[in-house]
A and B are shown apart, each in its own frame.
Chain A
Amino acid sequence: MGDLLVNRLKNGIVIDHVVSGKGIHIITLLAEKTAGHRVILLQHAESRKMGTKDLIKLEDVKLEDTDLQFISLFAPNATVNFIENEEVVRKHSVKAPEMVSGLIRCPNARCITNDPGEAEFLVSRLKRVKTGYICDYCEQVWTTKTYPDGWSANKVGV
Chain B
Amino acid sequence: MGSWTNRDVISLRDFSKSDLLHLFEKTKEVKEGRYGQLDKTVALLFFEPSTRTYGSFDSAAKRMGCKVIGIQDPDTASLKKGESTYDTVRMFVGYGADALVIRHPRAGAPKYVAEAFDVPVINGGDDGHEHPTQAMLDLFTIWEKFGGFEGLKVGIMGDLRYGRTASSLAYGLAKWGVRMRFIAPDLLQIHWRNDRLEEQLREMGADFEKTDQVKLDDLDVLYVTRIQKERFVDETEYKKVKGSFHLGQNSLKGVKNKMIILHPLPRVDELSPDIDRMDHAWYFRQAENGLYVRMALLELILGD
Contact = CB atoms under 8 A, between A and B. Distances in A.
Interface of A: 108, 110-115, 117-118, 121-122, 129-131, 134-141
Nearest to B90: A121
A138 B86 contact: no
Contacts of B83: 117
B196 A118 contact: no
Q: Which 10 A-B pairs have the closest CB atoms?
A: A137-B108, A117-B84, A138-B107, A112-B106, A112-B108, A112-B109, A138-B108, A121-B86, A112-B112, A110-B127
A122 B112 contact: yes
Contacts of B107: 108, 110-112, 137-140
A102 to B, nearest CB: 14
Contact of B111 (A108, A129, A131, A137): A137
B85 to A, nearest CB: 6
A75 B195 CA distance: 23
- Which of A135, A138, A141 counts the most B-chain CB atoms under 10 A from its CB? A138
Interface string B76-115: 0000001111110000000000000000111111011000
A62 to B, nearest CB: 34
Interface string B117-138: 0000000001111000000000
A121 B90 CA distance: 12
A131 B200 CA distance: 12
A130 B204 CA distance: 15
A115 B104 CA distance: 11
A117 B109 contact: no
A138 B164 CA distance: 12
B84 A134 contact: no
Contacts, number: 68
A121 B195 contact: no
B116 interface: yes
A114 B105 CA distance: 12
- Which of A112, A121, A122, A135 counts the most B-chain CB atoms under 10 A from its CB? A112
Contacts of B194: 140-141
Given A110-B107, A138-B108, A115 B85 contact: yes
B129 A118 contact: no
A139 B85 contact: no
Contacts of A114: 106
B104 A112 contact: yes
Contacts of B108: 111-113, 135-139
Contact of B129 (A121, A134, A139): A139
A110 B16 CA distance: 29
B85 A117 contact: yes
Nearest to A130: B199
Given A112-B106, A122-B112, A139-B108, A129 B196 contact: yes
